Chains A and B, each alone.
Chain A
């Protein structure tokens, strides 16, 4: 028969273990990155010349964004970013506010989640702003830091964080605090530079943000860069045509839509946009020819195609001499 003391001891030990697990969540069992799987050259990276802004109270968001913007060639002061980025009653900055502010400063905002993309971006020479929870899940202490580099052999990352420039933090500690922020990272790049880790889809979605703030020149440059990597991308070709058209470059728009039509001859969206741009240039014969082809194909865009067709006829009537023989 067991003594009551050992039973109590076992219960106590279990209770203690339970408390520790509650406190730490599953942080204890975080998988460590198997850096030996990486080629030696990729086991460390350091981005040079990222200016440092010491944060004011609660202002790590504006400070971190100011560092990225200045690195990318935009002169911006952390204090000037506060109204755009900071949310007073939250005593902090929300992620979408950083995204919005980067776009307002003419930069491509590319957000991602994951350790692997972080390493890729740093190796490509791009600094990354990350959201960490330096505390615990139930005592959160949310914080933005700018990651400048990593050294997996020696197990540390380099950060501009808070009031400390070039702070060295243990890799495991960084990963645990970053995991609580869902491994969220953000790049602010000059339009035309491609994030190293981006898929075609995630990149094009980030370029939509440039269109959103009517940065048409920037968007066009970003789509051109996409076409270098992903030839014949429908989204990039259409985006390029739309951005050039919005910027007033009708010839350029026609060129983009024509190459889209070459690769996607049955796509009614492509034909619709090409026809519209041709009509806007007074090339009504071509425009009608193409919009009728789109009408024959039909599909879910049929109402839009019909609308464009009618609009071309109206344009023709109001501008008869340009219609030709």
Chain B
């Protein structure tokens, strides 16, 4: 008991790690119902193997969202609302995903060249930036 009291931090860390491993590794074994996810998405063997990766993927995506300014609570809620397959698909890709945002014609790159390029492509009907360009 003396050791535990004098070194609370390492003990806490150890307990956390053990609990984490137990949660991740023991979950599939305790599930007595075969989940719909296992039926629809993948075979049971794959699923057990993937379980650890998926757990890490979720933490990873959540962390990436927080890095882009999403609150921690909302990041976790978003990730928790995605299926395993969806999380696996976007894990590590957040910086490359397109983010739909604006329609207003104030481009960040303020450049006459870009303006004319887009003007021409607008006239050609390839783009749809400027409302004053009549399309067809």
Q: Which residues of A contact B (CB under 8 A)?
A: 23-24, 27-28, 55, 57-61, 83-84, 87-97, 99-101, 103-104, 131-136, 139-144, 155, 161-163, 169-170, 172-174, 176-177, 181, 201, 204-205, 208-209, 211-213, 234-235, 238-239, 242-243, 245, 269, 272-273, 276-277, 300-301, 303-304, 307-308, 311
Do A172 and B125 contact each other (CB < 8 Å), given the known contacts A139-B114, A301-B44?
A: yes
Q: Which residues of B contact A (CB under 8 A)?
A: 29-41, 43-45, 65, 67-71, 74, 77-83, 85-86, 90, 94, 97-104, 107, 109, 114, 117-118, 121, 124-129, 135-136
Residue among A58, A101, A208, A243 with most chain B CB within 10 A: A208
Q: Assess whether B44 is in contact with A304, with CB atoms less than 8 Å apart.
A: yes
Chain B residue at minimum C-beta to C-beta distance from A238: B39
Q: Assess whether B74 is in contact with A272, with CB atoms less than 8 Å apart.
A: no
Contacts of B36 in A (CB 8 A): 204, 208, 211, 235, 238-239, 242-243
Q: Assess whether A212 is in contact with B83, with CB atoms less than 8 Å apart.
A: yes
In the complex the two chains form, what is the Cα distance from A27 to B127 in whole Å? 10
Q: Assess whether A104 is in contact with B81, with CB atoms less than 8 Å apart.
A: yes
Q: Assess whether A172 is in contact with B68, with CB atoms less than 8 Å apart.
A: no
Q: Assess whether A84 is in contact with B77, with CB atoms less than 8 Å apart.
A: yes
| Subset of 28 A-B contacts with CB under 8 Å | A57-B102, A60-B102, A60-B103, A88-B68, A92-B99, A92-B102, A96-B86, A96-B97, A99-B86, A100-B79, A101-B78, A101-B81, A104-B77, A132-B128, A136-B117, A142-B100, A144-B100, A161-B103, A162-B103, A201-B40, A205-B83, A208-B40, A212-B81, A212-B82, A242-B35, A269-B38, A269-B39, A301-B44
Q: Nearest 5 CB-CB pairs, A to B?
A: A92-B99, A92-B101, A88-B69, A162-B103, A100-B81
In the complex the two chains form, what is the Cα distance from A143 to B37 in whole Å? 32
In the complex the two chains form, what is the Cα distance from A290 to B117 in whole Å? 70
Interface of A is mostly: helix
Q: Assess whether B98 is in contact with A140, with CB atoms less than 8 Å apart.
A: yes
Contacts of A242 in B (CB 8 A): 33, 35-36
Q: Which of A60, A136, A239, A243 contacts B127 (CB 8 A)?
A: A136
Do A301 and B103 contact each other (CB < 8 Å), given the known contacts A84-B77, A89-B68, A135-B118?
A: no
Do A139 and B109 contact each other (CB < 8 Å), given the known contacts A144-B100, A239-B39, A301-B44?
A: yes
In the complex the two chains form, what is the Cα distance from A308 to B52 in whole Å? 23
Contacts of B70 in A (CB 8 A): 87-88
Chain B residue at minimum C-beta to C-beta distance from A111: B86
Nearest Cβ on chain A to B103's Cβ, whole angstroms: 4
Given contacts A57-B104, A205-B85, 5 further A-B contacts (CB under 8 A): A89-B69, A94-B98, A96-B82, A173-B135, A208-B85
Q: Assess whether A103 is in contact with B81, with CB atoms less than 8 Å apart.
A: yes
Q: Assess whether A269 is in contact with B121, with CB atoms less than 8 Å apart.
A: no
Contacts of B33 in A (CB 8 A): 242, 245, 272-273, 276-277
In the complex the two chains form, what is the Cα distance from A204 to B42 in whole Å? 13
In the complex the two chains form, what is the Cα distance from A284 to B41 in whole Å? 31
